[in-house]
């Protein structure tokens, strides 16, 4: 029997996951057959606690060059067979973002961020979701953490935003996310929970819309966002049900990892499955993955790592067996994404041919950092836009904003600077426009 009280307790955070992303009515799935437009998609994978350059730059490589004859460091060794699709970038900076512990929204926004500080502008992942071909769910965020944190806070907003003061929530409970995406095509208990939540959501939307008019004018805008969140969730559910036959081909199989995870990595793995399925089905074309959810926590007991949280950031990463396990786990996740997208034909190639994966940290190179160096790995060439199979060493004078402007230009938007005015650029950016060394 469904516990109505528990279900209601979880809805306040669950509905918040829709805020900041307009769920567009009437849009078709871009993976559907018969379409002539070749879509693009972007995936951001943000690991907390920093990304030490020694864990990704081949030994002895001091200058830009080909990776063909280089051996990748042990932490990213699972990517060795995919070197021809890899571009390692060193020498960007994020000095202006104050990234110590985490830049939070500033990591993808390219502005000053801090714990508890709301976003000051939209982040690059959201901006891309507006440029890329429209999908039913323009932007999906998933967050991986300790099992305790994922259960007590199934949604959290720390990395993505649709504008100033408008955070986008990430999903951390795979059961809730599965119900949202595939509840309408499920059976048994999943279907019953989906229908029960849907009925309650419909009732709350009607009640909330009616009651909001009685609020003071100063509160009506905020309350209106709350009401819109329910409308978005209900609208998405209805639209997904109209393409149920298509979705059945992509829905992951539900197993004990969802309902009875032994380790937090069980939930990490199935969250990734759901993220991949949302891409391959065409439900979304922008996916943001927060490993550690943009904060200083995180756990990987399923890898045999007993230490967790803040202490992990105080460990040296190069040569550290703990960080080798975590980084290799991440690299295997990147491989899973690439292999899944490679398996879906698209245009004259596959989905991966038109995809860009951006792997970095919301902490630049270490947990306690000035942001003077912000290593990044790109996978895929984004329909031929980016160089691959190479290492690029930059001079440390261009910010992460310049990388984001480069990606936005490759996606079709004319962007000379991203979230950086001329006054700020005079201090923190030696150039303007895209980073030419990255483009094919």
CATH number for the domain that contains residue 68: 3.40.720
pLDDT digits (tens, 9 = 90+) for 246-303: 888 999 999 999 999 999 999 999 999 999 999 999 999 999 999 999 999 999 999 9
Residue 35 confidence class, pLDDT cut points 50, 70, 90 = very low
Look at residue 14 in the predicted model and tell me its pLDDT.
34
3-class DSSP assignment, residue 140: strand
Domain count, the chain: 1
Q: Is residue 307 part of a domain?
A: yes
Look at residue 244 in the predicted model and tell me its pLDDT.
80
Q: Is residue 182 part of a domain?
A: no
Residue 146 confidence class, pLDDT cut points 50, 70, 90 = very high
Structure-token match 């993955």, residue found:
289
Q: Is residue 305 part of a domain?
A: yes
Which residues form the domain of 72?
40-170+258-438
**For residue 51, pLDDT beyond 80:** yes
Contacts of 60 (CB under 8 A, 6+ apart): none
Look at residue 342 in the predicted model and tell me its pLDDT.
98
Q: Is residue 205 part of a domain?
A: no
Tell me how far apart the 2 most distant CA atoms of the chain are, in Å. 69
Structural tokens at position 352: 């991966």
On whether the CB atoms of residues 341 and 355 are closer than 8 A, the answer is yes
**For residue 31, pLDDT beyond 50:** no
Compute the distance between CA of residue 124 and CA of residue 161 in angstroms, rounded to an integer. 9
Look at residue 19 in the predicted model and tell me its pLDDT.
32
Average pLDDT, the chain: 86
Q: Is residue 271 part of a domain?
A: yes
Nearest to residue 2, comparing CAs of 261, 197, 231, 154?
Answer: 197
Look at residue 190 in the predicted model and tell me its pLDDT.
56
pLDDT digits (tens, 9 = 90+) for 353-405: 999 999 999 999 999 999 999 999 999 999 999 999 999 999 999 999 999 99
pTM: 0.87
DSSP tag of 165: T
Compute the distance between CA of residue 197 and CA of residue 16 in angstroms, rounded to an integer. 15
Q: Is residue 354 part of a domain?
A: yes
């Amino acid at each position: 029997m469904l516990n109505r009280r528990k279900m209601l307790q979880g809805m306040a955070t669950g509905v918040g996951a829709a805020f900041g992303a307009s769920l567009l009515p009437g849009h078709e799935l871009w993976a559907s057959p018969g379409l002539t437009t070749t879509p693009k998609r972007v995936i951001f994978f943000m690991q907390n606690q920093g990304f030490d350059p020694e864990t990704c730059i081949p030994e002895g490589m001091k200058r830009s060059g080909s990776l063909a004859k280089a051996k990748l460091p042990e932490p990213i060794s699972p990517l060795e067979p995919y070197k021809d699709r890899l571009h390692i970038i060193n020498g960007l900076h994020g000095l202006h973002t104050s990234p110590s512990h985490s830049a939070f929204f500033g990591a993808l926004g390219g502005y000053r961020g801090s714990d508890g500080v709301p976003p000051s502008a939209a982040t690059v992942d959201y901006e891309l979701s507006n440029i890329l071909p429209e999908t039913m769910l323009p932007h999906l965020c998933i967050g991986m953490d300790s099992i305790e944190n994922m259960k007590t806070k199934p949604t959290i907003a720390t990395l993505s935003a649709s504008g100033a003061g408008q955070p986008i929530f990430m999903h951390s409970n795979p059961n809730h996310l599965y119900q949202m995406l595939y509840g309408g095509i499920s059976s048994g208990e999943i279907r019953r929970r989906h229908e029960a939540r849907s009925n309650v959501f419909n009732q709350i939307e009607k009640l909330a819309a009616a009651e909001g008019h009685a609020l003071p004018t100063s509160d009506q805008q905020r309350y209106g966002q709350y009401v819109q969140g329910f409308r978005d969730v209900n609208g998405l559910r209805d639209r997904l049900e109209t393409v149920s036959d298509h979705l059945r081909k992509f829905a992951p199989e539900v197993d004990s990892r969802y309902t009875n995870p032994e380790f937090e990595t069980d939930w990490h793995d199935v969250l990734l499955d759901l993220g991949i399925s949302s891409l391959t089905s065409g439900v979304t074309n922008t996916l943001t993955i927060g490993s550690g959810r943009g904060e200083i926590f995180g756990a990987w007991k399923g890898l045999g790592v007993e230490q967790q949280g803040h202490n992990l950031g105080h460990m040296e990463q190069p040569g550290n067996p703990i960080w080798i396990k975590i980084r290799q786990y991440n690299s295997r996740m990147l491989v899973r994404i690439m292999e899944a997208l490679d398996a879906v034909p698209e245009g004259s190639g596959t989905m991966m041919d038109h995809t860009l994966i951006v792997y970095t940290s919301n902490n630049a190179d270490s947990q306690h950092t000035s942001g003077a160096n912000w290593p990044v790995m790109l996978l895929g060439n984004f329909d031929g836009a980016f160089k691959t199979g190479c290492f690029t060493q930059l001079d440390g004078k261009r910010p992460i904003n310049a990388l984001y402007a480069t990606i936005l230009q490759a996606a079709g938007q004319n962007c000379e600077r991203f979230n950086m005015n001329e006054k700020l650029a005079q201090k923190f950016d030696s150039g303007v426009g895209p980073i030419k060394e990255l483009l094919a």
